Amino acid sequence: MEMIFLAFGIYLYLFSIGRVQAGDPESRKKAEAFRQRNAGWMRIGALAIIAIMVVNLYLHFVQLSGK
C-alpha cells in the first residue's frame, strides 16, 4: 500500500510540473487548465506524500532488518 501511495505522489508531482500529458487533445486541454489552476498546492501535496512514504518505507525496512 505504501508503494502505491509513493507512486501516486510521484505521478501527482510529475503532473503538477507538466511532465505527464493526456492522450487526446481535448483531455490534454482540460488537464492543462486544471494544472494551471492547482499546480501550487498539488506540488506541495505531492512532495509531502513522497516524503512521508519514503520515511515510512525506510522505517519498515529498518524494522524488517532487525536493527
Lookup: cell for 67: 536493527
The pLDDT assigned to 67 comes to: 65
The closest alpha carbon to 2, from 38, 64, 24, 18, belongs to 64
What are residue 59's phi and psi, to 5 degrees?
A: -65, -35
Cα–Cα distance for residue pair 19/10, rounded to 1 Å:
11
The pLDDT assigned to 12 comes to: 94
Per-residue pLDDT of the chain (67 residues; tens, 9 = 90+): 999 999 999 999 999 998 988 788 898 999 999 999 999 999 999 999 999 999 999 999 999 998 6
CA angle 48, 21, 51 (to 5 degrees): 10
Residue 25 CB-half CA count within 13 A = 0
